[in-house]
Amino acid sequence: MKMKTTLKTRLDKEAQKRNVASELLPTASPDPMWIAKQHKDEFSALVCALFAYGNARAIVNFLAQFPFEALHVKSEAEFGAFEWKPYRFQTAKDVEAFTLGLWRLKQNHSLNALFLEGYNAHQNVAEGVRILVDMLHESVPHVSRGLAFLLGKPFTCKPKSPLKRWMLYLRWMVRKDAIDLGLWKGVAPRDLLMPLDTHTFKVAHSLGLLKRKSYDFRAAEELTENLRVFDFDDPVKYDFALFRLGQERGI
C-alpha cells in the first residue's frame, strides 16, 4: 500500500508539472497536439491524431504543411487546388483520399455525435471508435494498405490493437486542461482508455503498473484499470506524464 501511495504521489506531481502549454512547443518536445490546438476543431484534431505515428518531429513537420483548409471547402471539386504530400505509409493520393473522406463526413455528421451512437449503448469507448472507423472506411473514396493502416482495421467486438491513436484522439476531445482540448460533450473521462504506445508500455512495466507482456488492447485496459486506483474519475490524466517519462527516459 505504501509503495502505491508513493507512486501515486510521484505520478500526480509529474502530471501536474507536465500540464502546461509549453510542453507542446516544437522548440522543446514536438507534439502533434500543438498543431491540433491551433485549429481547435474535431476534424482537424483527428487528422493530427491519426498521423501521430513515427518520429515526433517528422509528425509535426508533416502536419505543419497539411492543408487543413481543405476540410472547410464547399465542394469536392476544390480538392484539386491543394498540394498533397505523402507521409510514411501513406502516398499523396492516400492523404487526399483520407481528407476527402473526412470532408464528406463533415457535411452531414459530427464526430462527437457518431461516437456517442456506439458509446452510449454500454459506456464503452471502443464501441464509439468502432462507429467512427466504420464510417471513415465507408467515406474514403479508395482502399490502400496505407489507408488501412491510417484508419485502423474495422472490428466487430473487442479489438486486438490498443488503438493508440484513436485513444489519443479521445483524450484530446474529452479531457479539458492546459494540454487537452475538451471539445466533446457526453463522454465521461473515467471511461477513457490509455493511449498505449511503446513509451508508456515500457514505463508502465517499469513502474509495476502493467504485467501483460503483449502490446494489445487488453494491455491498455489493464494499465487504465490500475491507474483508476489513483484517480477513478480521470485515469488518463497520467498519460502525458507517463509518455514524457518514457520519451525522456526518466525511468
For the cut 60, the answer to whether the pLDDT of residue 2 exceeds it is no
For residue 249, what pLDDT is reported? 63
Chain-wide mean pLDDT for the chain?
93
φ/ψ (deg, to 5) at 46: -65, -40
Compute CA distances 147 → 36, 93, 98, 119, 144, whole Å.
21, 10, 7, 24, 5
For residue 159, what pLDDT is reported? 93
pLDDT tens, 176-215?
A: 999 999 999 999 999 999 999 988 999 999 999 999 999 9
Please write down the long-range contacts of 4-10, taking CB distance under 8 Å and 24 or more positions apart.
4/229, 4/230, 7/207, 7/208, 7/209, 7/230, 8/229, 8/230
Cell of 134: 466504420
For the cut 80, the answer to whether the pLDDT of residue 28 exceeds it is no
The mean pLDDT of 17-31, rounded to a whole number, is: 82
For residue 4, what pLDDT is reported? 65
For the cut 70, the answer to whether the pLDDT of residue 96 exceeds it is yes
Q: Does pTM surpass 0.85?
A: yes
As to burial, measured by CB atoms within 10 angstroms (0-12 exposed, 13-18 middle, 19+ buried), residue 122 is exposed
Which position has the grid cell 480538392? Answer: 79
For residue 3, what pLDDT is reported? 54
pLDDT tens, 111-151?
A: 999 999 999 998 999 999 999 999 999 999 888 999 999 99
For the cut 80, the answer to whether the pLDDT of residue 246 exceeds it is no
pLDDT tens, 146-179?
A: 999 999 999 988 899 999 999 999 999 999 999 9
For residue 166, what pLDDT is reported? 98
CA torsion sign for 82, 87, 91, 94 is: negative
The mean pLDDT of 48-63, rounded to a whole number, is: 95
For the cut 80, the answer to whether the pLDDT of residue 27 exceeds it is no
Domain residue extents for the chain:
2-247
For residue 251, what pLDDT is reported? 56
Check residue 68 and report its DSSP letter: G
| Number of other residues whose CB lies within 10 A of the CB of residue 198 | 11
For residue 21, what pLDDT is reported? 83
